[in-house]
Amino acid sequence: MNSRRLAAAMTALLVAMMLTTPGTASPTIEAGVMQSPGSANGQPDADNNTLYLFGKAGLTPCWSKFNNTDGESVSYGEDTKGGSGVMDVKVTCRMDPPLAPTVRLAEGEMINMNFAINLDGDWTNGQGGCANDCENLNVSLLKGNKAVAIKEFDNLQVGSNQVNWDLPVTIDLVPWNGSQESFGIELTMKIKPIQGEFIFAGVDALFGLYYSHPDNAPEQNASVTFPILNETAFNELEGIDDSGGGGDTPGFTTMIGVGGLAAAALLRPRSEDEE
């Protein structure tokens, strides 16, 4: 085969592959993970992708929505326990209102979680008064009523702590069904008071959480930012053709046409100059 004809055929095939290979970068780039002030109705989309946590002074109730303003919320909530026994902390912050639209996250991007908490007492087994009846802080991402990701934080100290978790979006975290899979966050921990000795007073077990509130410093606002796909990327992932051009696989016709050119280049009779 003449080298010029081979080069032409290879070029045509490369063009066909470039035109028909599905793009994977654009949905990730379009999703983004920058915090947003939020939507008026508390629902998520690509431009309103940050879930903010709100609550009362006693940690219950706690709720969340895709809007950073809630006049019913205080800036900080805490629970304490003195004496003996274990303080069993469980703070569950579900969406209110519940998730309405169906959304998809960008696979491979990060879910960014940020919380600021206060602690006192003992919570590490084998230390202080903890004998396999304490627990470190565990943060769970809820999908409806199911915990789909859990992370334990075993390096927290007495006093203020900044808790950050970057969770990669795996295939099971991509779809969120608006009818039954609302976003939610749950924090659990088991803390013991420290018993006093002789003239020394004991220390109460304490768990405190800063909510999203204008009185708090930005780093203290409890929030979770999701890489939510915009409508175009969502439709591409769903295989929805919104161009009005029919339901053929994108690029299929182009592939046939360019493939035909490649075949023609291979089969075209040689001219006298090429012989």
Report the C-alpha gap between 139 and 150 in whole angstroms.
6
Torsion 211-213-215-216 (CA) sign: positive
- Please report, for residues 151, 160, 169, 263, the alpha-carbon distance to residue 122 in angstroms, rounded to integers and kept in the order given: 20, 15, 34, 75
CA 90/CA 9 separation, integer angstroms: 65
Percent of the chain at pLDDT > 90 equals 64
Q: What is the pLDDT of residues 1-17, one digit of tens each?
A: 454 554 545 555 444 44
Select from 182, 175, 169, 148 the least CA-distant residue to 238. Answer: 175
User: Stretch 250-261: mean pLDDT, rounded?
Assistant: 42
Query: How do the domains of the chain map onto residue ranges?
Result: 3-20+250-274, 34-238
Q: What is the pLDDT of residues 120-165, one digit of tens each?
A: 999 999 988 899 999 999 999 999 999 999 999 999 999 999 999 9
State pLDDT tens for residues 236-248.
Answer: 776 655 555 444 4
> What integer is the mean pLDDT of 250-269?
44
Give phi and psi for 122, each to the nearest 5: -115, 135
DSSP 254-269: HHHHHHHHHHHHHHSP
Residue 257 has pLDDT above 50, yes or no: no
User: In this predicted structure, what is the pLDDT of residue 267?
Assistant: 44
**Tens digits of residue pLDDT in 22-59:** 443 333 333 445 566 678 899 999 999 999 999 999 99
pLDDT at 275 over 50: no
Q: What is the pLDDT of residue 198?
A: 63
